[in-house]
Structure 1
Amino acid sequence: MAKDFYGELQLGILGGGQLGRMLIQEAINFNVNVHILDPDKNAPCRKLCNHFECGSLSDYDTVYNFGKNLDMITIEIEKVNVEALEALEEEGVIVYPQSRVIRLIQDKGLQKQFFKQNDIPTSAFQFISNAESLKTANLLIPYVQKLRKDGYDGKGVKMIRTEDDLPNAFTEPSIIEEIVDFEKEIAVIVARNDRGDIKTFPMVEMEFNPQANLVEFLISPSTYSFEIQQQAEELAKKIANDLQIVGLLAVEMFLTKSGEILVNELAPRPHNSGHQTIEGNITSQFAQHLRAIFNLPLGDTSAISNAVMINLLGEDGYEGLAKYQGVEEALAIDGVYIHLYGKKYTKPFRKMGHVCIVNPERELAISNARKVQEILKVIA
């Protein structure tokens, strides 16, 4: 694909949310024509792309007809019609990440099987077909229950702490996982092009909002030992090579209190754990994803500075037309970069934007990020 396509390539993105929006911002630099399919007529990408189509991402005919005249399709969300992508691939449309990769990652059960078959360390797990099979599960309570399909951003996950939680458990096909006694949740984003070139971004440390189960605070680069960081990055490379993926892959992991790294979940696209790369690294995750799917040389992933990313979530108790409080006050702090996603309506814990805070001094970057968290609010 690394040929004279600039300005000619017709690139389709399934999903028109914030990830698509930030991909478009990078695609403009390549002079690529971007087509977006999204079910929301007010999607953040609607006014930024060359062509916007409002339609279902899970409907075969909609996805097929959207993609049949395009050169290449990529995704910003995994919940898409894979059968349509398979048909498009057969007809010569390039789909990256490949439909087989998307199919595997759509199903958390298949993900776990993939980890087991490829000797990738992960927590103990068991398949659950219905509510009755929970009663005879081999894993002892407490454990985490995850829907095999359609879970995202903390949805589709339940903690089963005691037998009293069983009546509220999911009844659909799911997996249960041993609860990991972790010290820190970490992530590595890895990129691989069709030539097999592969590069990782430096490992990052994450903190989650306990109510929404969303990444709330991310610190890059990590200060854990070189050995731990190298182990995490090599694990991400192994997974990308085992999958033979083309594009970006986010690998979310647990670092246990004993120093073991266990892989939690995968996302075959730009990811929330890589937003800080826009200001914090030489190459952003969005530029790297495009380089990978266009089969171009991968960019330098080195960190430029200490960077902290915080998600702007809709405040609890507010729902309606979004209003942003504290923008001017937050921007008065040096090294603060605000990214608003253009979502018209807010609701509790909805991702409405993110902020990256950079500073040569790690502790100052962290303290400034805490200030921004207190200042900047999304209300209605």
Structure 2
Amino acid sequence: MINYFSSKFKLGVLGGGQLGKMLLAETQKFDIYTCILDGSLEAPCAQICNEFHQGDLLDFETVYNFGKKVDLLTIEIEHVNINALLKLEKEGLAIYPQPSVLQTIQHKGKQKDFFIEHNIPTAAYKRFSTLEKLQNENFKFPFVWKTAQFGYDGTGVKIVKNQNELNALPNTDCIIEKLIPFKNELAVIVARNKNGEIKTYPVVEMEFHLEANQVEYVICPARISDEVALKAKNIALKVAEAFQHIGLLAVELFQTATDEILVNEVAPRTHNSGHYSIEASYTNQFEQHLRSILNLPLGNTNSKLAGIMVNLVGEEGFSGNVVYENMEEILKMEGVTPHIYGKKETRPFRKMGHVTIVNNDITKARKIAEKVKNTIRVISK
């Protein structure tokens, strides 16, 4: 067994955003030496890791040279140079999740093809390499358009309702999907280590902001029947087994009007849908990610209490130096814990933090979450 704790072992992380920052809370707890690569000196991780390296995550030489400095490499964002990772892996560096998994998931078209190849239920789709090819296709409006690569937090996803909206789309590699009339958007986080030990977190329910297409609330446990929850969990496990990934895999799902479960997409990392676990779970997702990639025994994924996560995003009409208005008011509320990501500049719908609400009663927790959402404002000076 490698001694990861209080030793010369170096863990490299590609990406220094809020997910990296929350991971660092766990590496510091275990005294694991961390090296971060990110493009911005203002990244949330920059001042709190052991080593910070500035550089482009999509540049081959930058990622390759960074990988040569560490003993094990992981990610907090999947938009990284895959060719550099494949070369590093060939040279013997342990990289989790594996570059082959990232290569499939990075591209939404390849990801959807993977689902079909492995008999994983998903919405009907077609792939297009250019806007012109998409325009020459006959199909019914509305449909969902997704850029094949580099979409995030609702960026690169659009419901297209008519020909004018279609013509205004960017000329890029993309997929279109059938618009699914769903009851709920659900998610399951699956943890898997090198030994093949596998655990799932409870099914969560996600409520989205319609305009920004971002998660507004994550509710754990999801307010669904045990039968639907079991179906969602089993499909998430099927996805994880198909990928044979090491680390965390967040599986986003649709619950249809007839209680069918369809896979929307997956993320091979810690995920917004698991932030509630910091306060509500016996083992939070960030500690579990460490346990997974270091091949340590996986922790208890059960919840201590019902948990709801409220995303804090920049308010419309405000850009500039961030101010969190009414923070004192939400700190007076029972079971409320804010997490501020350390981004100095706000802009409309930018993720700036989140607030976790825990309570014995999910209904009470949801009411408090609404109050939090209506109280705190992320604005600028």
Q: Tell me the CA shift for residue 69 of structure 1.
A: 2.2
Question: Which residue number in structure 1 is paired with residue 270 of structure 2?
Answer: 270
Q: Tell me the CA shift for residue 138 of structure 1.
A: 5.2
CA distance in 1, matches of 2:205, 2:247: 22
> Is 1:126–1:139's contact at 8 Å kept on the other side of the alignment?
no
Aligned residues: 379
Question: Which residue number in structure 1 is paired with residue 237 of structure 2?
Answer: 237
**2:365 match: secondary structure:** helix
**1:190 match: secondary structure:** strand
Question: Which residue number in structure 2 is paired with residue 289 of structure 1?
Answer: 289
CA distance in 1, matches of 2:94, 2:307: 35
Question: Which residue number in structure 1 is paired with residue 132 of structure 2?
Answer: 132
Question: Which residue number in structure 1 is paired with residue 311 of structure 2?
Answer: 311
> Is 1:139–1:178's contact at 8 Å kept on the other side of the alignment?
no
CA distance in 1, matches of 2:235, 2:300: 19
Letter paired with 2:6: G
CA distance in 1, matches of 2:69, 2:20: 20
Letter paired with 1:189: I
Question: Which residue number in structure 2 is paired with residue 18 of structure 1?
Answer: 18
CA distance in 1, matches of 2:293, 2:277: 18
What is the CA RMSD across the aligned residues, in angstroms?
1.0
Q: Does residue 7 of the first structure (1) align with residue 6 of the second (2)?
A: yes
CA distance in 1, matches of 2:64, 2:368: 47
Q: Tell me the CA shift for residue 140 of structure 1.
A: 2.2
Letter paired with 1:198: I
Q: Tell me the CA shift for residue 159 of structure 1.
A: 1.5
Q: Does residue 210 of the first structure (1) align with residue 210 of the second (2)?
A: yes
Letter paired with 2:277: T
Residue identity over aligned pairs, in percent, reads 49
**1:322 match: secondary structure:** strand
Letter paired with 2:106: Q
The one-character-per-residue Cα deviations of 1:272-304 (angstroms, maximum 9, x if unpaired) are 000000011111000111000000111110011
> Is 1:125–1:139's contact at 8 Å kept on the other side of the alignment?
no
Letter paired with 1:127: R
Question: Which residue number in structure 2 is paired with residue 195 of structure 1?
Answer: 195
TM-score normalised per structure 1: 0.98
> Is 1:72–1:95's contact at 8 Å kept on the other side of the alignment?
yes
Q: Tell me the CA shift for residue 210 of structure 1.
A: 1.2
Correspondence list, 1:152-171, <5 A:
152-171=152-171
> Is 1:308–1:369's contact at 8 Å kept on the other side of the alignment?
yes
Question: Which residue number in structure 2 is paired with residue 151 of structure 1?
Answer: 151
CA distance in 2, matches of 1:91, 1:345: 40
The one-character-per-residue Cα deviations of 1:155-175 (angstroms, maximum 9, x if unpaired) are 111221122222112311110
The one-character-per-residue Cα deviations of 1:163-195 (angstroms, maximum 9, x if unpaired) are 222211231111000000001100000000001
CA distance in 1, matches of 2:379, 2:56: 29
Q: Does residue 42 of the first structure (1) align with residue 56 of the second (2)?
A: no
TM-score normalised per structure 2: 0.98
Question: Which residue number in structure 2 is paired with residue 74 of structure 1?
Answer: 74
Letter paired with 2:170: F
The one-character-per-residue Cα deviations of 1:70-103 (angstroms, maximum 9, x if unpaired) are 1011101010001111111112211000011111
The one-character-per-residue Cα deviations of 1:18-46 (angstroms, maximum 9, x if unpaired) are 00000000111221100000101100001
> Is 2:314–2:378's contact at 8 Å kept on the other side of the alignment?
yes
> Is 1:314–1:350's contact at 8 Å kept on the other side of the alignment?
yes
CA distance in 2, matches of 1:70, 1:127: 38
Q: Does residue 61 of the first structure (1) align with residue 61 of the second (2)?
A: yes
Q: Which moved more, 1:13-22 or 1:223-232?
A: 223-232
Q: Tell me the CA shift for residue 239 of structure 1.
A: 0.9
CA distance in 2, matches of 1:135, 1:359: 50
**2:189 match: secondary structure:** strand
CA distance in 1, matches of 2:136, 2:320: 44
**1:152 match: secondary structure:** coil
Correspondence list, 1:240-259, <5 A:
240-259=240-259
> Is 2:278–2:285's contact at 8 Å kept on the other side of the alignment?
yes
Q: Tell me the CA shift for residue 5 of structure 1.
A: 2.5
CA distance in 2, matches of 1:54, 1:268: 23
Letter paired with 2:5: Y
CA distance in 1, matches of 2:138, 2:281: 45
CA distance in 1, matches of 2:234, 2:27: 29
> Is 2:135–2:167's contact at 8 Å kept on the other side of the alignment?
no
Q: Does residue 104 of the first structure (1) align with residue 125 of the second (2)?
A: no
CA distance in 2, matches of 1:234, 1:332: 40
CA distance in 2, matches of 1:14, 1:177: 30
> Is 1:44–1:342's contact at 8 Å kept on the other side of the alignment?
yes
CA distance in 2, matches of 1:237, 1:288: 16
Question: Which residue number in structure 1 is paired with residue 172 of structure 2?
Answer: 172
The one-character-per-residue Cα deviations of 1:200-226 (angstroms, maximum 9, x if unpaired) are 000000011112111011110123111
The one-character-per-residue Cα deviations of 1:286-340 (angstroms, maximum 9, x if unpaired) are 0111000000111110011111100000111111111111111101000000000
Gaps of 5+ in 1: none
The one-character-per-residue Cα deviations of 1:105-160 (angstroms, maximum 9, x if unpaired) are 11000000000000000000001121222233354221111111111111111221
CA distance in 2, matches of 1:140, 1:124: 13
**2:355 match: secondary structure:** strand
**2:132 match: secondary structure:** helix
